[in-house]
Amino acid sequence: MSVEDLLGRAGEWLKGTGPEGDVVVSSRVRLARNLNRFPFLTLASPAVRTEIERHVGPRLAEGKWPRPLDYWPLEKLSPLDRAFLVERHLISREHAQAEGDRGVAFSADEAVSIMVNEEDHLRLQVLRSGFQLDEAFEEIDRLDTTLEESLNFAFSPRFGYLTACPTNVGTGMRISVLLHLPAVVLAKQVDKVLQSLQRLNYVVRGLYGEGTSPLGDFYQVSNQVTLGKSERDLVGEMKRVVPEILKFERQWRRKLLEVERRRLEDRVWRAWGILRNARRMTSEEAIELLSALRLGVDLELIRGISVRTIHEMFLFIQPAHLQKLERRVLEAEERDAVRADFVRRRLEGL
């Protein structure tokens, strides 16, 4: 598998076909694991990092997994290719920018990825389209159990799986659900949602994880607590919380359709007009417009375009994707032009 292979498609989780797909873009579960016999990475020498990668990398690549994994050592990739993997949510921004031996194993459909030598020795991730927490959890749990047959993870009966940062200790599990909440934002109700989530110990972030602002009305909700609750408790709690937000967003969508249909339609069709005609476009603008278009498709205000197409555009308008498509380095201003051209071509004839 190469970057060029990935360029021709989007990950399974972006298909937009999962349950509750009108509001829930994707479900993600990740596990943090460390090997018993090595120090955590903060204190690992370059030689130790190399040893960990050599120990784990081949096992991941050669293991008999339900979805075969390809292992990519990141040191061999250019900064642009690493940024490309960040944009696909296969690795974290920190992992891309770090130094020393490290890598990522992932499945061709991008549903599974395992970062090696990130903050912890292993970071396992399973991504699913829509609201599919049980399925994502079952898959990552099986993956973890299989890995445990050949790797000794740092574990204490009292504290559970031991992680470099105590905020991840115990289950080492973080569940994240990516939500699209345009109606709640339009109705200026989003603070209410965020506050109640915070009271329940959930963390809310923007689309690109820690420290990012919520662009395009996309919010990522994750559990903060990883200790003192079982994995199934954590899944169960998230499964009770998310439907409440879903209900709230759908109520506002209906209400806005009833009382402010014209305003909604105007917003969606303006977005359509700009996306189809603009000659320059920043990522922020594109994300906001595509978000409006996605709402229009969900509310059937606009037809003949699929959520999948919109999701693919979200993916490909990002800086590294545009540069890989164009096969050259682009300055910000050039990217804005290439981005507008890409979007226009994609929507032509629809």
Partner 1 sequence: MNCQRCHKNHATYHLTAIEKGVKREAHLCEECARQAGVGLQFNFSVGDLLAPPPEEKAPKAGSVRCPQCGLTYSEFKSKGRLGCAHDYEVFRGELLRLLERVHGATAHVGKTPRTADAHVRLENELLRLKRDLESMVKSENFEKAAEIRDRIRSLEAELNR
Interface residues with partner 1 (CB under 8 A) are 34, 36-37, 39-40, 42-43, 119, 141, 144-145, 148-162, 164-167, 169-171, 173, 201, 224-231
Rounded least distance, CB 169 to partner 1, Å: 7
The amino acid sitting at 142 is R
Give the max Cα distance, the chain.
Answer: 64
Tell which phi-psi region holds residue 78, choosing left (phi > 0), alpha (psi between -120 and 50) or beta: beta
Distance of CA 329 to the CA centre of its chain: 25
Residue 58, token pair as written in the block: 């081949």
Element (H, E) at 29: strand 24-33
Rounded least distance, CB 159 to partner 1, Å: 5
Which DSSP letter does residue 43 get?
G
Q: Which is nearer to partner 1, 35 or 268 (CB)?
A: 35
Rounded least distance, CB 92 to partner 1, Å: 15
Q: Which is nearer to partner 1, 130 or 172 (CB)?
A: 172
- Residue 200, judged by CB atoms within 10 A of its CB (0-12, 13-18, 19+), counts as middle
Rounded least distance, CB 144 to partner 1, Å: 8
Q: Which is nearer to partner 1, 111 or 173 (CB)?
A: 173
Rounded least distance, CB 161 to partner 1, Å: 8
- Residue 319, judged by CB atoms within 10 A of its CB (0-12, 13-18, 19+), counts as middle
Burial 176-185 (b: 16+ CB within 10 A, else e): bbbbbbbbbb
Q: Which is nearer to partner 1, 84 or 137 (CB)?
A: 137
Q: Which is nearer to partner 1, 125 or 226 (CB)?
A: 226
Q: Which is nearer to partner 1, 211 or 228 (CB)?
A: 228
Rounded least distance, CB 163 to partner 1, Å: 8
Nearest to 177 by CA among 198, 205, 201: 205
